[in-house]
Structure formats: C-alpha cells, structure tokens
Structure 1
C-alpha cells in the first residue's frame, strides 16, 4: 500500500513545511545535515524509509527549487545511477571541463541519499519535490523546505567538514572547492568523524592543502569508482573533455586518472588520519582508493582499501605509518615513492607492487614494512613486484628491513618476459628480509636478476631525502 505524504524532519531548527495530517508513522523521514542557522550548501538530501529498503524507479524526478520557484537542480530517476557532473572543477588535458559519471541517488539500507549536481547558494530557502515513480510505492512529497547558511566560512585557511552538518561543509569536496584556484598559502581541512560517500578531486592549481581526519576507521571516505565507470573501459571512445591532465605515459594515461575514490593533481598535498575505501567489489575492474600525480604528496596514518591498483603515485610521494590493502598491483605507478613503517595487506594472491619508473627517476622504495595477508590467502601466492621489463626497462622496487608472511613466493619477483637477459637495467632489490617473527628468511630461490643490497646501499636507500631528490617529507610547509 502506498504511503501518504510523509512527515518532514530536519536535523535541526531549519525551515519546514509539515502537512498537518502527517504523523511519524505515515512514511519516510526527510532530512538534511545542519545546525541552527541553516544547512551546508553541499549537503546531500536524505530520505529514510520505514520497514523495507526502498528501490529506485525509472520515472519521475527530484527537483530543488528556490523560494521564488526558480529551479536550482533536477535529478532524474532514470539516469541517477549513471549521472554526470563536474567534480572539483576538473579540466582535461585539452582545457575542456571534465564531467564524471556518478550516482546522484544512492540507496544504502533504508536510506536514499540524493547528491545534487552542484552546490546550492548561501542564504537561500529551498523547497524540494519528489515525484511519484522515483521510489516505487511512495507518492513522493510536494513541499519539503530547508534553508542554507547565510555566510561562507570565516577562516578560509582552516575549513571543517562534518557529515552531521556541524562544520563549514558537509562533504570533503565542498571544502576542497572552497580553496581558491592559484592558492599559495597552506590550507587545512579537518574532516570530522563520519562516513563520506563521494569522489574527491583536487585540481592542479589548488596546492598546499592538508586533509586531516579523526583517525582511520573514524573518518571514512568511500566510493565505488572504477575503470568501468570513469576509466579507460568507460571512455574508450571518449572525447577531448576526457583526456587526463599531467599525463606521464602519453597513451597509457589517456583516461585512467578519473577512476579513483580520492584523486590529487596538486603539489604539496597531505592526507592523514583517515580511511579511503574504493568500494568496487573484487573483480569489478581497476579501482584506486588514492591517486596522486604531482610532487611532494604525503600520506600519514591512513588506511587505503581496494582490490586492484589501491594506491597509485606519480611524481614524488611519501607514505608512513599506514595500512594499504589490495591484491593486484595494489601499489603502483611511475612515481618516485618511499613507503615506510606501514602494513601492506594482500587480500588475495597477486602482486604487491608494479613500478613503471624510467632512467630519469627512482621507483618505489619500501622501508620497514610488514607484508601480511587476509584469511584464506595461500602460501607462496604473492610476489613482491612484477614488471613488464620489455617496456619499463628501468622499473625499480626496493624492499628494505621487510617482515613478511609465507604468502610471499620464494621466487619473490615476476618479470615479463621471464628472461633475465632482458631485465639488466631493472632494479629488484631486497635487504634483510625476515618472517613476521623477525627470523631471516631464505632468499636463495629469488629471481636470478634480483639481488640483495649491501649494508652501505641499504643505509642510503633508507633515507627519504636521498630517494626523493632532496625533499624532506617530514618538514611542514611555511608561509
């Protein structure tokens, strides 16, 4: 039986229009995040249904209108799962704005979240209509009202994000967008505890941003973005608006910069104390949790979760005190990267790293990392790294002072073709590897063209400033 028009409940004392005949048991509860004085301009709209979970229909639309009746946004049910919008003012290599495929209506349990195509305006009263057909079995709503905050953030160099509406913004992207293009001064974005379901993108001309959460597992940024939605497979016939900026490999990097949960093309970026989870299911195509493509990108105390291609770094990157999980090439790229004091968890048999560095830059260096596995991952089913040496002749992966479980195969490495004569300039290096208890492991069966470092070499490659060309990643930015 169809529900009557529902009671309208806002998170705080926002402007409402509640039908006098409605009661708390009549139907779905509608809300926006907020506090006294209005909601964020980037707030998602929430519709929570009693009883069973809702389904998304194929007809009807959700409209957001200003108090004067003018249309601010319209979300069509028929296209909601493959909608389009520009995120982060993204611009392709050709200078054209790039639109991402995203879900403008997402259902999680009993709650449908509605994500507008763009931010709303400050100091506006809005009313929302939900047409019949958007959620089959519900007649919708005619006049759901709320008000946005009157003013922009008071401190543009220290922004706060709260999913509950207790910050300057309700989404991480909303705060990133508040940083002016051409920014030259450090900006900190504090992301409060909560789950943020969104694609986040930082454009090249927004450098010197720090995004800091309340701790891994407490602050979670998640999204099922992947190659089928926004990458090479989705954009095989894409136009000039889809070409990646800052391409390192002219052909390989044509479209694959759009498929991650959190992407950064700006220099001097820091991410700390949170989880980034690409929720694409296993086998659901390449799907980075985090991708960074510029110099001086640092990740501290983060958890990065995906399956294939979890972390991709180009330029110069640094990762410390973190947890990275995946199965296929889950740490990869063309960058010069040092990862230290971190856990690398294999969630299935596969490959931990894939370096695509050339003879102009160092590759991936792992110092004091612990290599673990999820339950059920077999012994000898994972290699430290693989490389297509016929193409990436100078690829480099270095593992120093590594503790590893028995899931790491005795051969250690994999090359294509399997011919060490063609890998003379590749660097598959290792030093003082142990099991998880700290006992030295037998490396006598390692790939013939890999090698063990000397004490002096290991000391040099442990130094972040040596690996990263003079950059000290633990030194903070100054004015």
Structure 2
C-alpha cells in the first residue's frame, strides 16, 4: 500500500503535472504607472475601477496602479483580457478596498447574486499582482446556520497571480481562490467558515490565517473534483490562530487536496482536523497532509485516519515554488 501511495504522489507531481496550464513568461517590469487618490488633485483617478477601466481592453504591458492611503468603498472587477496589472497600496493597514455584498444580495436582475459575484474585488485576467493592500468584505459574521451569507473579499479567477503583504478580511468565504496558479507571500487572511476556498493551485508562504468563528469554522474548502485536476492548497511556514473550534479543511471537492507544512497551529484546531463534507466516500479520495507542524493544535495523534503525517519524500512536492511552477513566473 505504501509503495502504491508513493507511485501516486510521484505521478501527480511529474514534469507534466501542470500541462493543463499554458506556458509562463515573466512580465514583472512595469511599462507605466497610474496613481489613485481620493483627492482628485493628487492622483490620476479617484477610484481604482476607473484606473483599471482606463487601460486597453486587451492589455499586454505591465501597469502599476499605485493606490494612496485611504479606504476606497467600491466594488472592483478586472476583465479577462486586462492582464499584467499590479495594484500597490501604501501598506495593508493604510490602503483598504471594501464593499459589503453577500450571496443573497440582489443583483441587477433582481435575483440573489450568489457567492461568485459577491466579491469586493474580482480578478479574471492573468498575471495580476497585489502588494501591501487590504481587500475587505464588510458583511458581519453570520449566525450559525444562517443561509446566503457567503461574502467574498477577493476572487481570483486568473492564472499566475501573486499577492504580497496583503490582507483579506471577511467572514464566511473570504478568499475565493477560484482557478489558476497563485502565490500568497506574507499575507493575512481572516474569516470564519471555509474562508479559503476554490479549486486553484496555490502556495501560501509565511501567511497568517486567523479565524473569527463564533462556534465552528473551517480554514479551507478546496474543491478539486477529479484525480486529474492539478490543483490544491499548500501552506508553508504559516500560522493559524483565532477563535472558535476549527477544521483545517472540509472536502468541498471529492478529491480535495490540502497540505500544511512547518505551520504553527493554535489550540483552536479540532483534534480530528478534517471534515468529509458529510460524504464518507470522500475519505477514500481526498489528500490531506501535515508536515513538521507545531503548536497545540498540530498534534497528528487525534487526526482522522484518512489524513497523513507526511514523510520528507511525500512533502517535498508541496513545499517549494515548484508546486505552482513558480520559478517560471515569480520574480522574488
């Protein structure tokens, strides 16, 4: 059984494992920059959306949009062909973008907009970068069992996106890590239930994950639906703190894949660690692992039998930029 498991790990991490994605290129050098300031006399634009909308519909050059200190109350969307945008704040505690939609908020058609459209900031284009800025959904923590309260702070649906020194603030479903390869470095992510969710291939490095759950909650809800999907979340040298009783992850997808490595876990982590989303069959197909984690919530002794304490060899594919093909497109 152990040999079969290792052959499986090797097969999903061979040189072709991310062939579903296209070739990558480094496009980090800026061609020009714009400034957003609430004072119309001090910048090029007073709103972030206006700055984005000023770019060509098909953008092929790196543009840096510098957002001056302040709270920008607006709902922002980056269209699919406006690639190579960098949003740079003056500091995550100084520059904040916020809105308050939830899944039950009525859209322009008079119907609830759903989780996907609830995002304060939505990115649909590749090669997006954000630095030193906060994305916030102001909807409060929902009561236990309350429906339609999913409230996304940021949704990333573009490939090859990087977030550095950013904050993502919300409650249920804070960060919709939808699709694509993504890198989060030194970020702060706050929420209550399933607050990092989606089917992207993402590396979280040096991030602080903080729960504000009133009772029960979950850090992740990774939605990998097939053995062939090259997706999953890896948390490396992170820390998990907060309130409530927390699962490390719930199996939103039948083949959900999440790994925590070198991560500090506070006592809020429920001993069994993982939840099968009410479907025992998923226990046979998910991939949930820990590697050299620390803290009172990291004890693997009480974990569910279908999660693993990874060996050095098993953990290796998950703990470097290679997990997201990052050496091709991330310039450190």
TM class, shorter-length: 0.7 to 0.9
Residue 318 of structure 1: how far off its partner (Å): 1.1
User: What do residues 152-187 of structure 1 show as CA deviations (whole Å, max 9, x unaligned)?
Assistant: xxx983100001221000011111111111111111
Distance change >3 Å, CA 470–CA 339, structure 1 → 2: closer
Residue 230 of structure 1: how far off its partner (Å): 5.3
Q: How is 1:2-17 mapped onto 2 (pairs within 5 angstroms)?
A: none
In structure 2, the residue matched to 1:317 is 182
User: What do residues 276-331 of structure 1 show as CA deviations (whole Å, max 9, x unaligned)?
Assistant: 11101222711111101020111110011000111011211111101000001000
Residue 470 of structure 1: how far off its partner (Å): 5.4
Residue 256 of structure 1: how far off its partner (Å): 3.7
Segments of 4+ moved more than 6 angstroms: none
Q: Which runs of 5+ in 1 are unaligned?
A: 1-154, 237-241, 243-254
Question: SS at 2:317's partner residue?
Answer: helix
In structure 1, the residue matched to 2:304 is 447
Distance change >3 Å, CA 285–CA 175, structure 1 → 2: same
1:263 equivalent to 2:122? Answer yes
Under a length normalisation based on structure 1, what TM-score does the superposition of the two structures give? 0.58
In structure 2, the residue matched to 1:459 is 316
Superposition RMSD on alpha carbons, in Å?
2.2
User: What do residues 66-88 of structure 1 show as CA deviations (whole Å, max 9, x unaligned)?
Assistant: xxxxxxxxxxxxxxxxxxxxxxx
User: Does the CA-based 8 Å contact 1:216-1:274 persist in structure 2?
Assistant: yes
In structure 2, the residue matched to 1:426 is 286
Higher mean C-alpha displacement, 211-220 vs 449-458: 449-458
Q: Which runs of 5+ in 2 are unaligned?
A: 1-29, 143-147
Partners in 1 of 2:111 and 2:200 — Cα distance? 24
Residue 468 of structure 1: how far off its partner (Å): 1.2
Distance change >3 Å, CA 441–CA 205, structure 1 → 2: closer
Distance change >3 Å, CA 164–CA 459, structure 1 → 2: same
Distance change >3 Å, CA 186–CA 229, structure 1 → 2: same
User: Does the CA-based 8 Å contact 1:274-1:301 persist in structure 2?
Assistant: yes
User: What do residues 47-68 of structure 1 show as CA deviations (whole Å, max 9, x unaligned)?
Assistant: xxxxxxxxxxxxxxxxxxxxxx
Distance change >3 Å, CA 234–CA 327, structure 1 → 2: farther
Out of 237, 247, 265, the residue aligned to residue 368 of structure 1 is 237
Q: How is 1:207-246 mapped onto 2 (pairs within 5 angstroms)?
A: 207-229=83-105, 235=111
User: What do residues 229-275 of structure 1 show as CA deviations (whole Å, max 9, x unaligned)?
Assistant: 257x9635xxxxx8xxxxxxxxxxxx543211000000000111011
In structure 2, the residue matched to 1:203 is 79
Partners in 1 of 2:266 and 2:317 — Cα distance? 26
Partners in 2 of 1:230 and 1:220 — Cα distance? 24
Question: SS at 2:51's partner residue?
Answer: helix
Question: SS at 1:229's partner residue?
Answer: coil
Partners in 2 of 1:471 and 1:295 — Cα distance? 14
Name whichever structure is richer in helix by fraction. 2
Out of 68, 74, 81, the residue aligned to residue 192 of structure 1 is 68
Distance change >3 Å, CA 427–CA 172, structure 1 → 2: same
1:410 equivalent to 2:266? Answer no
In structure 2, the residue matched to 1:157 is 32
User: Does the CA-based 8 Å contact 1:227-1:234 persist in structure 2?
Assistant: no
Structure having the higher Rg: 1
User: Does the CA-based 8 Å contact 1:298-1:473 persist in structure 2?
Assistant: no
Q: Which has the higher contact order (CA 8 A, sep 6+)?
A: 2
Number of residue-to-residue matches in the alignment: 292
Out of 198, 221, 227, the residue aligned to residue 354 of structure 1 is 221
User: Does the CA-based 8 Å contact 1:161-1:168 persist in structure 2?
Assistant: yes
Under a length normalisation based on structure 2, what TM-score does the superposition of the two structures give? 0.83
Question: SS at 1:458's partner residue?
Answer: helix
Question: SS at 1:423's partner residue?
Answer: helix
Residue 450 of structure 1: how far off its partner (Å): 0.4
Partners in 2 of 1:412 and 1:445 — Cα distance? 8
